[in-house]
Amino acid sequence: MSSDVAAKSSSSSSDGDDPIVADWSRLPSDILSIVSSLLQKNSDYVSFLLVCRWWRSSSPSPRPPPPLLLFAYPSPDDSSRYYKHHSPLSQCSGPLFLFTPSPAAGRNQRHVPFPDSAHSALCGSADGFLVLRKKLQRNSGPPFAVSLLNPFTKHRLSLPALPSQWPPRKIVPSFSPVGSSSFVAVAIIPLASPLFFHIRGENSWRRLPLLRIFLDAVFHAGRMYAVDDTGSLYFYNVSTVPTRSPTLFHWIDSWTLSPPPSLPQPPSLHQPPYNPLQNMKHYVVHLEGVMLVVVRHYRQPRYHETCRFEAFEVKDCSGGGGDDGGEFKCSRVRDLGKMAIFLGTNASFSLCAHKFPGYQANCIYFTDDSVSRFPEDRKEECGVYDMQTGEIEPLRFGCLAVPPAVWFLSVP
């Protein structure tokens, strides 16, 4: 079956009148079920799901859609100067492009309309939802509105306006907001800022009064874990978020105080000394019952060119569940096994690569997620890091992704 699913077909009537247009959205569910079961390529299956709601619901025991790279082109009034020097997030008014980075996917690029999102910026994804932010045109009050949008079902969840002068770096929900009465979301703001929490049913965000440059967060087993730019890992019991002070433990060891052996020493005195806070970025991700802190190393002096990754398991040896911390141990992880990790402006996630043809196990898939000022000669990053070989393979789009691509994982 062709990967481009037709939306219409027509045939001429016997008397030569106007052609009869067939309504493909009304195909019987048993026929659609057979068709969907015969689609082997991820790209064809994604195209099938995009046709309409009836086609999606007619797929028997739908297999989980593969991770997708998603990007959109900026609107014409969003200047390139703002894009280059302030943020990788631009206003998007054109179509969304879905890209499956699989060599076996054949024609692996699709596009869908950007639904009801004029003057909104795509700034991440989480649990099957895109994260959109919109600049509010008003003289006082919070300047940014935030919403979550499912690009397939068009379901939208509006969040309160963020009480920050800066747009969010990342929005991380506790779990999918559909049908959940206990939904919690955390907003991470660039620069030194407290974490902001939103609890479903409330009309505002709550602050955790701790000024740090937070980079990533994840919910797991009743806790929210957050990592800052120094590699310090914090955790909060979600049930006590509004009232309790954060519990902190440091996992970074002395190896960060000098250049790791695999990084070249500066060839001349004109290059700045190795600065671990500038040459690396930290992420936190849940992987098969294990909490990992992943370190992204940048090549010196090009502080936006990724050269390698490292992963560390953080283990709570006290049994967990308490607010007062306990004994935590950190150990190096050199092999992810059958799993793959996906990092970027998306909420960090991992999955079993063997379930998705074309994806490689024991690899880290990453996109460009810097919100600092861009050098003029900067190149957008999107690639795959092999934990075994230490090599990086770029992912090719066939076109420039502006703004940088976002990893998107649809929740079945």
Calpha distance 99→401 (Å, rounded): 11
Sheet with 223-228, strands from edge to edge, namely 214-220, 223-228, 232-237, 247-250
Confirm or reject CATH 2.120.10 for domain 64-261+271-408, answering yes or no. Answer: yes
Question: Is the bond leading into 403 cis (omega within 30 degrees of zero)?
Answer: yes
Calpha distance 158→146 (Å, rounded): 6
Comparison of pLDDT for 23 and 368, the residue scoring more: 368
Contact 251, 231 (CB under 8 A): yes
Q: Would the pLDDT of 246 be above 70?
A: no
pTM score, whole prediction? 0.76
Kindly indicate the confidence band of residue 21, based on its pLDDT and cuts at 50, 70 and 90: low
Domain ranges in the chain? 1-63, 64-261+271-408
Predicted confidence at residue 362, as pLDDT, reads 97
Q: Which region among 39-48, 200-209, 387-396 has the lowest average model confidence (pLDDT)? A: 39-48
Q: Would the pLDDT of 29 be above 60?
A: yes
Calpha distance 358→47 (Å, rounded): 17
- Give per-residue pLDDT as tens, 257-302: 233 334 333 333 333 344 555 678 999 999 988 889 999 998 876 6
Predicted confidence at residue 105, as pLDDT, reads 43
Q: Would the pLDDT of 28 be above 70?
A: yes
Question: Rounded to the nearest 5 degrees, what angle is found at the Cα of 285, between the Cα atoms of 257 and 298?
Answer: 40
Closest alpha carbon to 243 in 188, 177, 199: 199
Kindly indicate the confidence band of residue 402, based on its pLDDT and cuts at 50, 70 and 90: low
Contact 350, 285 (CB under 8 A): yes
- Give per-residue pLDDT as tens, 252-269: 333 332 333 343 333 333
- Give per-residue pLDDT as tens, 107-132: 455 666 565 555 677 788 888 888 88
Predicted confidence at residue 335, as pLDDT, reads 96
Q: What is the pLDDT of the chain when averaged over all its residues?
A: 70
Residue 170 CA from chain centroid, whole number: 8
Predicted confidence at residue 318, as pLDDT, reads 65
Predicted confidence at residue 199, as pLDDT, reads 84
Calpha distance 213→95 (Å, rounded): 33
Predicted confidence at residue 190, as pLDDT, reads 81
